[in-house]
Every structure is written in C-alpha cells, then in structure tokens.
Amino acid sequence: MADDRRWMYDGFDKTGGKAHSAEWRKKTHAFIDHAFVGKTHYLNQVRCPCNELNNEKFVTKEELTKDLVNYGFMPGYETWSFHGEKETRVETEVEADDDSAGVDRIDEMLEALQLEFGLNSEDPPPKEVEEFFKLLQASEKPLHEHTKVSLLAFVTRLLAIRSKYFFSNKCFNDLVQLIGDVLPQPHKLPNDMYQCKRLTKAVGMGYEKIYMCPDGCMLFCDDHVDEKKCLHCGKERYVEVINEDGD
C-alpha cells in the first residue's frame, strides 16, 4: 500500500456521531478525489468502498462522500484495488463465488472499450457505450431488495438450467411466472424467455445452439455439424414426426 492507512479506521467515529478526526476527513476527501481520476471511473461513477456497499455498487462522487461519512470504509480495504491501485500481497487461491463469477467484469470491460474507442478517462463516452453500461449496471442490481443475487446472475443460471434439462419454451415461461409470483415485490425478474434472452444478448452474452446425440455420445459441431446420425451409437440426430399430433 502507498502509506500507513490505519487512519481509515482509527479516525472514523464509530458511535454514529460523525465526529471523525481531522486526519480522517482530510485523507478521505483526498481518496474521493483520487477515485475519480484515471481509468477507474466511467459515466461519472465509481465503486463505493463504504462499510455498507462493499465495492458492490457504482455511485456518484456526491453519493460516495455521503456513504463514507455515514458508514466509513469497508474492513480490509487498505489497498485501493478498485480505485487505481494494484494488489501486491500474495493471496491463497480460493474458489470464486458462483453468483459473481462471470458477471462482475465491469472494470475490465471499461478498459477494453476505452482502448477500442480511443478514449481516455475524461472523454465523454459514445452514446452506444453509455447505453450499454446503463443496461449492464441495471442488470447487476439485486433481483429484489432481500437478496444480493443480481438480475443478470439469476437469468444466466436459469437459462443454463433450461439448456441442461431441455425445458421447452412454454415450460420455461411457466417456471418464470411461478418464480415471479412467489418473489417479494417489487422484483426485476423478466416475464418470459424472450425477455431473458434479450437481456443476456444486450450485454454481450448471446449463445450458440449445438445439437447433441440423444444419449450424449457426441456433439454435432465443427467437422460433424452436418452429420445426421451419431457416429458412436447410430441414433438419429432428429426425431421423425409422422403426423400433426407429434407421433
């Protein structure tokens, strides 16, 4: 870390009276200014490291100031890894949380888009980029107020279950309807398959449909994309329908 940052916790008034030390106030304002410089901010928002949001939500400069004054810094954030600093200590490798893996990639995507469009951190984003990140941020908000599972995480897992167990579209829609009926209101769950796919496609998570042998012997892809039968068990790739009842 750049310096001794015990001030982040020692100088904060934990009684709720907001009688924070002069050092805490001075250095916290310096942190806030630092957070909005460089590549770590976009659309005038950064992650909030307060003891309430724990770097899980993007906020404006005004909101960041208010949250830090009210809640203080989250524990263990002496190295500002989400605000422009590199982590230097060696950590034990741990298994990633299923809900956050694969969806919490905003920082990397920001840098990639900045390179793609030739932007620096102070440039106003192109309209299509701004709309994309507004959608992405909305999709990462909790599904409802009583959970930390994001809308995007829930929808992608639900679609993965559908693919694994071969739900029909009607079955999927009925299941989504049932889940929506039992979730606390208000919630952000889409109404049907179309809206779920529209969400994942909009944030760059489209999918390719690949046929598989009924017994799971092989995938009909790459060099075997045009095969009509399984090369291992000989079963037909498609089910032949004889009449309008599906028999």
Q: What average pLDDT does the segment 111-123 reach?
A: 55
Are 34 and 84 contacting, i.e. CB atoms less than 8 angstroms apart?
A: yes
Per-residue pLDDT reduced to its tens digit, 130-160: 666 666 666 677 888 888 888 878 888 888 8
Q: Could you tell me which residues are beta bridge partners of residue 58?
A: 47
Helices (H), 91-225: 106-117, 127-139, 151-165, 169-182, 193-202
pLDDT recorded at residue 187:
87
Are 214 and 233 contacting, i.e. CB atoms less than 8 angstroms apart?
A: no
How many other CB atoms sit within 10 Å of the CB of residue 4? 8
Are 78 and 1 contacting, i.e. CB atoms less than 8 angstroms apart?
A: yes
pLDDT recorded at residue 38:
57
Given a cut of 50, whether residue 102 has pLDDT beyond it is no
Element (H, E) at 40: none
Whole-model pTM: value is: 0.41
Are 203 and 187 contacting, i.e. CB atoms less than 8 angstroms apart?
A: no
If 0-12 CB within 10 Å is exposed, 13-18 middle and 19+ buried, where does residue 55 land?
middle
Q: Could you tell me which residues are beta bridge partners of residue 229?
A: 236
CA distance 149 to 227: 41
Please name the residue that has the structure tokens 């200590």: 89
Given a cut of 60, whether residue 66 has pLDDT beyond it is yes
CA distance 154 to 12: 37
**List of long-range contacts for 112-115, beta carbons under 8 Å, 24+ apart:** 114/39
